């Protein structure tokens, strides 16, 4: 158990850049009401895609961070999309979202892998898609709003 926790902590500190291999990505996943949402609907903004589950302790720690980040940026330059990555009954997920007061879009992973993001290396897993729709980086483990903002600031400087 300690070995697993140590491995998870090591993975939690790794953000992997993929810009050299980046390419346009898109997917369509349903929300808890069954309405389909396409990633490409959000072109023009950074999209922070976070795979999570209700049973994942580190996911619970980062949800408030993601909510604060989303609230600060949703009207301007970035949004968060949460991808629930578990088999859970819809009413239970709806209840969880309401109890946590999650303010960003939550969609459900289906039976088909969401490429190029899957297979996942662990939960939570966060992926960054730039305003042009290119997948540019990933992070395994919990993230903070500050870390996301730092990453986006570095990417903005690099693009200039």
Judged by average pLDDT, the poorest of 34-38, 123-127, 149-153, 155-159 is 155-159
**In Å, what is the CA distance from 45 to each residue of 5, 54, 93, 131?**
34, 27, 27, 4
pLDDT in tens, 144-153: 999 999 999 9
Rounded to the nearest 10 degrees, the angle between the axes of helix 145-159 and helix 57-73 is 50
- Top-level class of domain 2-159: alpha beta
pTM: 0.86
Residue holding tokens 């993001």? 117
Per domain, the residue ranges of the chain are: 2-159
Q: How far apart, in whole angstroms, are the C-alpha atoms of residue 118 and residue 90? A: 22
């Amino acid at each position: 158990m300690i070995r697993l926790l140590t491995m998870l902590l090591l993975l939690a500190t790794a953000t992997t850049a993929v810009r050299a291999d980046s390419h346009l990505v898109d997917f369509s996943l349903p929300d808890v009401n069954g309405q389909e949402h396409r990633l490409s609907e959000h072109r023009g903004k950074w999209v922070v895609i976070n795979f999570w589950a209700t049973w994942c302790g580190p996911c619970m720690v980062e949800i408030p961070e993601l909510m604060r980040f989303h609230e600060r940026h949703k009207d301007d330059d970035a949004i968060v999309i949460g991808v629930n990555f578990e088999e859970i009954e819809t009413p239970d997920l709806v209840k969880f979202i309401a109890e946590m007061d999650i303010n960003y879009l939550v969609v459900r992973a289906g039976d088909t892998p969401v490429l190029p993001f899957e297979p996942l290396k662990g939960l939570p897993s966060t992926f960054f898609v730039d305003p042009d729709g290119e997948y540019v980086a990933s992070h395994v483990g919990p993230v903070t709003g500050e870390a996301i903002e730092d990453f986006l600031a570095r990417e903005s400087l690099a693009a200039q």
